[in-house]
Structure 1
Amino acid sequence: MSARHTQQPAAERGAHRTDQGARLTDELVAVVAGARRRAVRDGDRQIDTAHLLHSLLESDPEVRGAFEGPQAARLLGYLVQRAIGYGLRWRGTVEGSGARPVPSGPEGWSPTAVSAMDVAYARAERRGDACARGLDLLAAITADPGSRAVEVLGRTGVDVRALAARIDAVAAVEECAAGGGCGVAR
């Protein structure tokens, strides 16, 4: 019996398995795997920031907690709609390429998703952590106003600036609790 080889999209082949995988918490590794599966299931060639946002919302309670009231549920409903057809207008396009040159990065990832992962790692490093977490990635994908994740957030009525402020507030409280100083003048 001969082995059968099929051509798989880059997202399915496990792209982005550089040393960066070691810089993710176990929870964020699961988020990336979920985004990869979603991209493959949707027939997309690349993992984009909307795939990452969807996977973050499904699997990370800390990320869901960053949203106000029913926003997380409304956002998940919208992302499900995207998965069943909304994202068709994005198919065949590269997120974040625009008029800019496409940066070299892991195969199977949009340039914007690659940049978001780099920003998430930088946030973790500034905090003194070796690994990025879900809130780091959420902050990173919402920082780029041209990302698909920001487009989805806007369409569901999420104020991205207010969300970023809530994420930063959580980070400040954690830094204070860890003994990094609370910014209180004495």
Structure 2
Amino acid sequence: MQPRIPRQSARDQGVHRANDEAGLGAELAAVVAVARRRAVRDGDRQIDTAHLLHSLLETDAEARAAIGDSRKVVRLLGYLVQRSIGYGLRWQSSVEDSGAPSFLKDAEGWSPVAAAAMRGARERARRRGEERARGIDLLAALAADPQARAVEVLRRAGVEAAGLLAGIDHATAECVGDGGRVR
């Protein structure tokens, strides 16, 4: 009898890799580890932006607060759970790719769009003067690429990605004097 969950390598079990998690705060590193485990469990070849969004919404209160309406958060999680159990939004083992170049030095195991979102999160943190990216940085980076699977999930749940990104940008700009924390 085959095990239900494929055997995970040390990398898939969430062991930190310098090229992947460098520049991430502890909370965001945990989001990445959960997304990696979810991708392996689901039998996906790569972590994509929907895996990142799912893990982010489950673990990061600041990201959930940025969505605003709790009903939309629940709807988002519903779509993402359906996808993880094989129903609803499925991308049939295709690679998520918006044509953006991969920015991770070692992007193996990442969709090109997810790799670009991770870089975007780090860049947002640096622009705020912080060394480590947070979940809100990743949420903004996910919302910024209209070709991302995460944006498709947001759209289906009634969340306009451009409006979400504008709200995050506005809140972050207002709070920069407050250490960059979104209230």
CA RMSD, Structure 1 to Structure 2 (Å): 2.6
Residues in 2 aligned to 1:108 and 1:96: alpha-carbon distance in whole angstroms: 13
Residues in 2 aligned to 1:15 and 1:87: alpha-carbon distance in whole angstroms: 31
Matched residue, 1:183: none
Is 1:25 the counterpart of 2:31? The answer is no
Matched residue, 1:3: none
The answer for unaligned runs of 5 or more in structure 1 is 1-5, 180-186
1:151: how far off?
A: 0.7
Query: Which structure has the larger Rg?
Result: 1
The answer for unaligned runs of 5 or more in structure 2 is 1-5
Q: Relative contact order, CA 8 A, sep 6+: which one is greater?
A: 1
1:173: how far off?
A: 2.1
Q: TM-score, normalised by structure 1?
A: 0.82
Please tell me whether the aligned partners of residues 10 and 108 of structure 1 are also in contact (alpha carbons under 8 angstroms). no
Residues in 1 aligned to 2:7 and 2:57: alpha-carbon distance in whole angstroms: 30
How many matched pairs?
Answer: 172
CA distances 1:75-112 after superposition (whole Å, capped 9, x unpaired): 11111111111377423211016xx4874742100000
Percent identity of equivalent pairs:
58
CA distances 1:138-158 after superposition (whole Å, capped 9, x unpaired): 000110000000011111111
- Aligned ranges for residues 1-150 of structure 1 at < 5 Å? 8=8, 12=12, 17-69=17-69, 70-86=71-87, 89-96=90-97, 100=99, 103=102, 105-150=106-151
Residues in 2 aligned to 1:8 and 1:93: alpha-carbon distance in whole angstroms: 21
Please tell me whether the aligned partners of residues 120 and 140 of structure 1 are also in contact (alpha carbons under 8 angstroms). yes
Please tell me whether the aligned partners of residues 11 and 108 of structure 1 are also in contact (alpha carbons under 8 angstroms). no
